[in-house]
C-alpha cells in the first residue's frame, strides 16, 4: 500500500489483482466501474442514426431519388418535392430515437451515481459506483445491490455465510447461499485488518459464464482455491445478512452482468421487415414500368422521333447517331419516369408507423390495467421501436409454470397417516362445501405468531394438533425442520425467506398451527412448539435434486438421531415398508382425487 510495486508479468488467460493496491492494479489498465448502455453521444448521434435509418429501403430509395433530382438532364421536378418529406421522416425518427437514448443515459447515470461504501486508507468512505476500482474492498449492507463482481471476504453471519437474490441475473427470486474462505473470516468488520489485507488474486479473464469461476488467492504465503460459491456478482441483492465485505475482481464492462448484456444494437421488428419486403416489391414494379417506358421511348425515337428533331430537337449531350441517340434518350427517360412515379413508394407509411409507435409507448405507460398495485409499479415501455412485437407473439417457451404465473403456493390440503384434512363438510348432507370468500376460516389468533393472511377452513386438523395427536404433531414438526428457509425480523415481525414458494407455504403452515421455525445456524435449528423452544443439532442437510427428488435433514436431540425427509410421492413410496401398504393406498387415493402435493414422513434411527 505504501510501497513501490513492480510491474508483474500477466498471462493472456489470467487476471492478477492485489487487494487495496491501486498502483499495482493500475498497470494492467482494468476497466473502471462506469457503465454505458446508451447508443449515441452528441457527436455520434447524427451519423450513426442516419446510418441506421438508411437501412430502411424506403429511406434509401428516396435518398437515391433525391440525388437523381439534382441532375437537370433527367429531372422534371424540383428536388424540394422529395427532400421535404424525406427530411421530415428522418427528423421524426431521429427525435424518437433520441428520446429512447436519453432514457438510457438517465438510467446509466442513476446506476453510476449509486453510493457504495469503499475502504480507503483504513477508513470507510461513501463513494459513487463509478468510482469503485478493481482491488477495492467495499462494504455491502442488507437489501443492497452488489456494485461489482466481488470476492467475498467476511460477513455478519456465522461461518462466513451470506444470502443473495439473483433476480436481476437469472430471474430467480429464491435465495442462494454464498460462503467466504474460513481463513479470512477472522478479519470481521475491523477496518484496520481489512485495509492491511493484501491478498493477491489470480483468476480467469472476464467472461459471461454466470455459474463458473476459477481462481486462486495467495495470502500469507498460502494458496486458496476460489470458486463460484465465493463470488458475488454485480446485480445481485444481499438478503438476510446484516453486512459483508468483498474485494472487487471485475468492474464495469468486465462484470458478468455487462458481459451478458452485449452492445446495444439496432433492432428491426416484424413490421419493419414486412415493409421492407413490400417496398422491394413496389420498387421492382416501378423498375419494370420504367424499363417498359425506356424500351418504348428508344423504339419510338429510332423510327419516328428522329424525324421530328426540327420541332423536338435532341439535347446537346445526345449523340447524333440515330441508334446511339435513341439508346441514350431511352436511358434518360428511365430515370425521368423513376422520378415522376416516385409517389408509388409510400414514404408517408413510415411516418404513420413511427407516430403510432411513439404514441403507443405512452399508452402502455398509462394503462391502468397493467398497473401492479402491490408494488405500485406501472408498465414501462423501455423502447418505442418494438411495441408491435408484443401483439405478434406466437409461442411462449417457459422452464416452469412460476415464470408465467404469480408463483404463489398456498397450503390447502394434507393427508396425515391415511386421513385427509382441508375439506369442509355440510353437517346436514355430509357433502363437501366449496370454499369461497364467504366461508369463515379457522381462527388462529390464539397463536401469537399466526399470520393474518393464512386461510384454513377445516378445524379438525387444528383440534388434532391441540390434542397432541401423534401423527399431526410429527407432520408439522417435519415441516418446521426439514427445509432451507431463512428467518428474519422486519419491524419486529418474524418473516421467512425461502428458496421456493412451496417451501415458504409449508413452513408458514407449520407456523400457524403452532410449530414456529425461529432460527438456524450452520449447526442447529430452533423451533417453538406451543411456547416451548426446541433446539436440534443439525448433522447434515441433503438438498433436493433431480436425481434424488427428495430433501433430507439429519438432526440430533438428546440421545435421538432423527431423519426427516420430504419429496415426490413415488420416491417416498419406494422407501415405505410393506406394513404401510394400507396407508400408501389411502394416501394415493387422496392424491388422485383432490390434490397433488409433496408427501412426507419422518423416521427415527
Instruction: Tell me: is residue 36 an annotated ligand-binding position.
Output: no
Q: What is the mean pLDDT of residues 447-453?
A: 90
Q: How many Å apart are CA 145 and CA 142, to the nearest integer?
A: 9
Mean pLDDT score across all residues of the chain: 84
Q: How many Å apart are CA 230 and CA 245, to the nearest integer?
A: 12
- The per-residue pLDDT for range 194-224, each reduced to its tens digit, is 999 999 999 999 998 888 899 999 998 999 9
pLDDT attached to residue 263: 64
pLDDT attached to residue 598: 43
Flag the least confident range among 41-55, 64-78, 187-201, 569-583. Answer: 64-78
Cell of 344: 408509388
The full set of domains in the chain, from first to last, is 15-33+132-261 (2.70.150.10), 414-604 (3.40.1110)
For the chain, report the end-to-end CA distance as a whole number of angstroms: 57
- DSSP alpha helices (H): ranges in 242-376? 256-261, 270-303, 322-340, 347-366
- Per-residue pLDDT at 3 exceeds 70: no
Q: How many Å apart are CA 56 and CA 90, to the nearest integer?
A: 11
pLDDT attached to residue 402: 56
Residues 6+ apart with CB under 8 A from 263: none
Q: How many Å apart are CA 487 and CA 581, to the nearest integer?
A: 37
The residues annotated with a catalytic role in the active site are 399
Name the nearest CA neighbour of 93 among 50, 57, 61. Answer: 50
Instruction: Tell me: is residue 449 an annotated ligand-binding position.
Output: no
Q: How many Å apart are CA 574 and CA 68, to the nearest integer?
A: 82
Q: 263 in helix, strand or coil?
A: coil
pLDDT attached to residue 350: 73
Instruction: Tell me: is residue 434 an annotated ligand-binding position.
Output: no
The torsion angles phi and psi of 602, rounded to 5 degrees, stand at: -125, 150
Helix (H) or strand (E) holding 50: helix 45-53
Q: 88 in helix, strand or coil?
A: helix
- DSSP alpha helices (H): ranges in 341-443? 347-366
- DSSP alpha helices (H): ranges in 113-178? 167-170
Residues 6+ apart with CB under 8 A from 489: 495
pLDDT band at 605 (very low <50, low <70, confident <90, very high): very low
pLDDT attached to residue 262: 65
- Per-residue pLDDT at 9 exceeds 60: no
Instruction: Tell me: is residue 544 an annotated ligand-binding position.
Output: yes
Instruction: Tell me: is residue 11 an annotated ligand-binding position.
Output: no
Instruction: Tell me: is residue 32 an annotated ligand-binding position.
Output: no
Amino acid at each position: 500500500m505504501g510501497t513501490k510495486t513492480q510491474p508483474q508479468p500477466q498471462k493472456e488467460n489470467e487476471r492478477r489483482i492485489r487487494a487495496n493496491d491501486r498502483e499495482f492494479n493500475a498497470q494492467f489498465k482494468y476497466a473502471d466501474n462506469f457503465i454505458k448502455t446508451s447508443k449515441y453521444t452528441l457527436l455520434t448521434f447524427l451519423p450513426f442514426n442516419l446510418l441506421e435509418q438508411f437501412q430502411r429501403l424506403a429511406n434509401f430509395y428516396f435518398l437515391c431519388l433525391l440525388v437523381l433530382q439534382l441532375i437537370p438532364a433527367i429531372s422534371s421536378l424540383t428536388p424540394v418535392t422529395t427532400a421535404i418529406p424525406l427530411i421530415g421522416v428522418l427528423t421524426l425518427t431521429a427525435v424518437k430515437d433520441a428520446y429512447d437514448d436519453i432514457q438510457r443515459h438517465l438510467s446509466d447515470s442513476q446506476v453510476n451515481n449509486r453510493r457504495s461504501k469503499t475502504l480507503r486508507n483504513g477508513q470507510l468512505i461513501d463513494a459513487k459506483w463509478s468510482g469503485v476500482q478493481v482491488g477495492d474492498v467495499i462494504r455491502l449492507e442488507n437489501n443492497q445491490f452488489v456494485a461489482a463482481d466481488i470476492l467475498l471476504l467476511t460477513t455478519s453471519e456465522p461461518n462466513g455465510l451470506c444470502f443473495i437474490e439473483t433476480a436481476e441475473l437469472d430471474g430467480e427470486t429464491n435465495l442462494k447461499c454464498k460462503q467466504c474462505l474460513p481463513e479470512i473470516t477472522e478479519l470481521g468488520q475491523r477496518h484496520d485488518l481489512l485495509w492491511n489485507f493484501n491478498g493477491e488474486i489470480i483468476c480467469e479473464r472476464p467472461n459471461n459464464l454466470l455459474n463458473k469461476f476459477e481462481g486462486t488467492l495467495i495470502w500469507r504465503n498460502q494458496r486458496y482455491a476460489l470458486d463460484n460459491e465465493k463470488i458475488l456478482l454485480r446485480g445481485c441483492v444481499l438478503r438476510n445478512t446484516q453486512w459483508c465485505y468483498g474485494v472487487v475482481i471485475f468492474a464495469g464492462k468486465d462484470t458478468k452482468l455487462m458481459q451478458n448484456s452485449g452492445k446495444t444494437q439496432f433492432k428491426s421488428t416484424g413490421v419493419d421487415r414486412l415493409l421492407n419486403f413490400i417496398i422491394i416489391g413496389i420498387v421492382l414494379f416501378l423498375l419494370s414500368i420504367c424499363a417498359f417506358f425506356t424500351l418504348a421511348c428508344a423504339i419510338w425515337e429510332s423510327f419516328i422521333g428522329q424525324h421530328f428533331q426540327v420541332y423536338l430537337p435532341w439535347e446537346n449531350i445526345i449523340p447524333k447517331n440515330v441508334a446511339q441517340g435513341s439508346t441514350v434518350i431511352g436511358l434518360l427517360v428511365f430515370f425521368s419516369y423513376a422520378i415522376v412515379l416516385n409517389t408509388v413508394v409510400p414514404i408517408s407509411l413510415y411516418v404513420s408507423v413511427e407516430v403510432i409507435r411513439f404514441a403507443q409507448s405512452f399508452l402502455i405507460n398509462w394503462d391502468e390495467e397493467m398497473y401492479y398495485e402491490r408494488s405500485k409499479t406501472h408498465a414501462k415501455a423501455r423502447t418505442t421501436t418494438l411495441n408491435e412485437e408484443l401483439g405478434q407473439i406466437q409461442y411462449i417457451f417457459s422452464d416452469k409454470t412460476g415464470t408465467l404465473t404469480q408463483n404463489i403456493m398456498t397450503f390447502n390440503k394434507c393427508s396425515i397417516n391415511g386421513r385427509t384434512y382441508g375439506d369442509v363438510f355440510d353437517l346436514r348432507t355430509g357433502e363437501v362445501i366449496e370454499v369461497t370468500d364467504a366461508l369463515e376460516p379457522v381462527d388462529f389468533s390464539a397463536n401469537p405468531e399466526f399470520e393474518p393472511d393464512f386461510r384454513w377452513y377445516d378445524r379438525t386438523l387444528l383440534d388434532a394438533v391441540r390434542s397432541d395427536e401423534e401423527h399431526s404433531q410429527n407432520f408439522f414438526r417435519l415441516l418446521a425442520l426439514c427445509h432451507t428457509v431463512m428467518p428474519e425480523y422486519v419491524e419486529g415481525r418474524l418473516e421467512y425467506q425461502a428458496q421456493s414458494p412451496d417451501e415458504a407455504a409449508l413452513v408458514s403452515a407449520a407456523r400457524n398451527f403452532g410449530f414456529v421455525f425461529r432460527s438456524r445456524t450452520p449447526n442447529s435449528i430452533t423451533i417453538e412448539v406451543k411456547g416451548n423452544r426446541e433446539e436440534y443439532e443439525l448433522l447434515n442437510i441433503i438438498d433436493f435434486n433431480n436425481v434424488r427428488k427428495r430433501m433430507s435433514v439429519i438432526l440430533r436431540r438428546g440421545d435421538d438421531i432423527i431423519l426427516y425427509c420430504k419429496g415426490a410421492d413415488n420416491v417416498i413410496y419406494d422407501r415405505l415398508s410393506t406394513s404401510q401398504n394400507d396407508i400408501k393406498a389411502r394416501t394415493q387415493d387422496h392424491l388422485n382425487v383432490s390434490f397433488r402435493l409433496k408427501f412426507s414422513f419422518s423416521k427415527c434411527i
